[in-house]
Amino acid sequence: MFRITIFLCFFFLSGCGSASTPSKAYTLTLRVGQQVEISEEALTVLLIKINDSRCPAMVQCIRAGEGKAILNVSQSGYDSATLED
């Protein structure tokens, strides 16, 4: 599982900046392909893919690597958006 803290500015969803700003941050624990609904925000988050090239624990690596999550986020009344972070 991969823990993702969602700090979303909903202007990404509308493309115009007219959507509301979330009232708080949410911490979600999702598996790839799992979807969760945040009813307070009328928001749905789907974890599409995890790219994880981080160095394993107890191993010395030349490069530390990085972890990236790809999410599909939709809010009631707005187009969905794919976000990478």
pLDDT tens per residue, the chain (85 residues)?
Answer: 455 555 444 434 444 444 555 567 778 888 899 999 988 888 899 999 988 888 888 888 888 888 888 999 998 888 888 988 7
Whole-number pLDDT of residue 75:
87
pTM of the full structure: 0.65
Q: Which pLDDT value is given to residue 27?
A: 83
CA pair distance 68, 32, nearest whole angstrom: 12
Q: How many structural domains comprise the chain?
A: 1
Q: End-to-end CA distance of the chain, in Å?
A: 16
Residue 75 CA to residue 81 CA, distance in Å, equals: 9
Q: What is the pLDDT of residue 41?
A: 81
Q: Which residues of 41-56 are buried (b: 16+ CB within 10 A; e: fewer)?
A: bebbbbbeeeeeeeee
Q: Is 2 exposed, middle or buried (0-12, 13-18, 19+ CB in 10 A)?
A: middle
Find the domain containing 31 and state its range: 2-84
